[in-house]
Structure 1
């Protein structure tokens, strides 16, 4: 019985749902990153945001934003929320989206002790429609930010082993 509880805990601990955020060219999105660890002082906070594992997007060093190593393509397009750092929120706003921003973003908290991953999908701007009176300008749909979504496959992959253990 203890082994089953341990395995369930292990599955819960290791199963992290993949988060997907969608945005449109020229819009902005917030890439989520949260830490559930104990309280820290502002000096203890070091966070590194990377794109496709190598591009330097944004750093928070000792509780302060740092653009020292930031790639040129992200200059003046990123911001975080310092007022919520001590609550464990290191989410990043990425503005003026470009199609090249599509990809996997990693948020490393305190020297890789915790890593959060977010997939960003950037789509082209919606087309402009024409109404019956030949007026242009109404967008079919404005998708500024679809928000974070979890992938159903990951939920199933998590629940299947859990249900097998519970019903054994």
Structure 2
């Protein structure tokens, strides 16, 4: 989830940088700050997972992130050379190599990973609930049996006083 948020923030920084025709260096700094952190999160997930259901989408996301970063490099090069129409077309254009398509692939892979992990967690929570729900009835039965045991233990002592 964090990687997806960072990617969306980086995409916003990228678009702002294009809208400002490359004159806003803070947008590039922010992009350069967000994307490595997202890449690190994806790498950590890939190294820590052992057959997770989200392994394939995370690998796709890592590849898409690399592609998007290379498209961003080309975009920044065009902005640096004063080719604003070319940079704008690369940033929001419909082409397969455009930044939009690369980001969309990344976002889709991250969404798929989040959805898969969410469904696994939801299933685990449901299983845990089903496994522990009989404990309520068991606790009630044990409480009633304890009450009868205490009453049965006290009854002979009460009979001694009659």
Q: TM-score, normalised by structure 1?
A: 0.24
The two structures have a TM-score, normalised by structure 2, of 0.24
- Greater strand percent: which structure? 1
Query: More helix per residue: 1 or 2?
Result: 2
Higher relative contact order (CA 8 A, sep 6+): 1
